């Protein structure tokens, strides 16, 4: 009976994997088709089902050539996304480490109450916090700059929660021994906490990258100039134009994130498993 259940679970696993991977495979294969073949596959003139082919009749890089060479707008938007996401990831790592260390090691009045406020803010949906962020950005006179997006993201409480949960799994005896030897907070953080925190930092970096690489709402609200928009908002414009370019653009857009996930998937799994998140 158990063997039969194992086979069923195995089959269901592969079915789920195929369902989840199908859009990625279709997007990748269509990006290597010519514009004529893509238009033919997805033509609805006959009002029948589309004649979608996964394997290209002739592999070509013409879509990528149009996207990356003939149209510099796409690469400009790509670098806009990098300019936004890179400081967000780096800043959130720094702030989250320092705040999580304070909540875990340091003793001060009202620590648990403050951490509870962190949890409450973390549970609020993005749409609730956008208006306060807009008011603060207007007060700071940065509402039409990248800082209006970067600053709230850097101080996102999710990173503090994740790293604090990770630190709770560390042996506190190391910290107590260092304190007995006269080590200060800076020394403890640099020599003891950070070496053991690497999987948690890697998990936080990848989760932050995934979250803000695909941001749309913040960019629409805070960035008015079209040439400063990130690639996540520009993809919608590509989809409304030539269909072949949409496949190539989507593929190129996903490559950086997929490469980082493939490289750091073990860190991500270990970091999330230790923190108890699902």
For 180-203, how does the pLDDT look when each residue is reduced to its tens digit (9 = 90+)? 777 787 788 888 888 888 888 888
Query: In this predicted structure, what is the pLDDT of residue 126?
Result: 81
pLDDT of residue 61: 80
pLDDT of residue 258: 83
Model pLDDT, residue 87 = 95
| Separation of alpha carbons 193 and 274, rounded Å | 15
Nearest to 146 by CA among 105, 197, 85: 85
Q: Where in the chain are the domains?
A: 84-229+258-275
Q: According to the model, what pLDDT value does residue 278 have?
A: 45
Query: Could you confirm whether domain 84-229+258-275 is CATH 1.10.3720.10?
Result: yes
pLDDT value at position 93?
Answer: 93
Residues making up the chain, counted from first to last: 278
Question: Structure tokens of 247?
Answer: 């496949």
Task: Kindly write down the DSSP assignment for every residue of the chain, as one continuous string.
Answer: -HHHHHHHHHHHHHHHHHHHHHHHHHHHHHHTS-HHHHHHHT--TTSS-----SS-SS---HHHHIIIII-HHHHHHHHHHHHHHHHHHHHHHHHHHHHHHHHHT---TTHHHHHHHHHHHHHS-HHHHHHHHHHHHHHTT-TTSTHHHHHHHHT-HHHHHHHHHHHTTS-HHHHHHHHHTT--HHHHIIIIIHHHTHHHHHHHHHHHHHHHHT--HHHHHH---GGG--HHHHHHHHHTS-HHHHHHHHHHHHHHHHHHHHHHHHHHHHHHHHHT--
Q: How many CA atoms lie within 13 A of 27 on its CB side?
A: 16
Residues of the chain with pLDDT under 50: 46, 278
pLDDT at 149: 92
């Amino acid at each position: 009976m158990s063997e039969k259940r194992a086979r069923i679970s195995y089959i269901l696993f592969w079915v789920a994997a195929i369902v989840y991977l199908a859009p990625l495979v279709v997007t990748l294969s269509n990006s290597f088709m010519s514009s004529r073949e893509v238009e033919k596959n997805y033509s609805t003139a006959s009002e029948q089902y589309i004649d979608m082919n996964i394997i290209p009749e002739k592999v070509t890089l013409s879509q990528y050539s149009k996207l990356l060479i003939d149209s510099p707008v796409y690469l400009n938007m790509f670098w806009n996304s990098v300019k936004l996401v890179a400081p967000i990831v780096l800043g959130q790592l720094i702030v989250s480490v320092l705040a999580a260390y304070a909540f875990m090691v340091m003793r001060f009045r009202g620590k648990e109450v403050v951490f509870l406020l962190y949890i409450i803010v973390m549970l609020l949906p993005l749409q609730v916090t956008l208006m306060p962020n807009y008011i603060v950005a207007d007060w700071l006179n940065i509402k039409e700059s990248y800082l209006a997006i970067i600053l709230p993201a850097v101080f996102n409480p999710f990173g503090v929660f994740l790293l604090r949960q990770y630190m709770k799994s560390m042996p506190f005896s190391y910290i107590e021994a260092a304190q007995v030897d006269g080590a200060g907070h800076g020394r403890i953080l640099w020599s003891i906490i950070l070496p053991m925190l690497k999987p948690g930092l890697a998990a936080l970096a990848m989760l932050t990258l995934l979250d803000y690489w695909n941001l749309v709402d913040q960019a629409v609200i805070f960035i008015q100039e079209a040439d400063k928009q990130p690639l996540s908002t520009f993809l919608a414009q590509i989809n409304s134009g030539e269909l072949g370019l949409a496949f190539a653009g989507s593929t190129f857009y996903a490559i950086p994130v997929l490469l980082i996930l493939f490289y750091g998937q073990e860190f991500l799994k270990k970091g999330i498993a230790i923190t108890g998140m699902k």
